[in-house]
Amino acid sequence: MDILYFAWLRERIGVPRERVETGAATVRDLVAELSARDAGYAAAFADLSALRVALDQELSEFDAPLSGVREVAFFPPMTGG
């Protein structure tokens, strides 16, 4: 699956996107796998309340299943104005 990182997540992790093979059942499981990679990932995912996630370009929740998902995007909340 493709994983996209936006804004400060991209800066902490060091890449804008990557392709990963995962056995994670939910987004939260995927976050746990990614966080275990290194300190950059751990810092990026340290506070899930400061993040939003989209699955195949639709806003979702961290407990959402990943079955059949092709793209996961992580980004900070956006503000209008």
Torsion of CA 52, 57, 60, 63, to 10 degrees: -100
pTM (predicted TM-score): 0.93
**pLDDT per residue of the chain (81 residues) written in tens, 0 to 9:** 999 999 999 999 999 999 999 999 999 999 999 999 999 999 999 999 999 999 999 999 999 999 999 999 999 987 555
CA–CA distance, 74 with 8 (Å, rounded to integer)? 10
CA–CA distance, 10 with 68 (Å, rounded to integer)? 24
CB count in 10 Å sphere of residue 61: 11
For residue 11 the two structure tokens come to 């800066």
CA–CA distance, 81 with 67 (Å, rounded to integer)? 36
User: What is the dotted CATH code of the domain comprising 2-75?
Assistant: 3.10.20.30
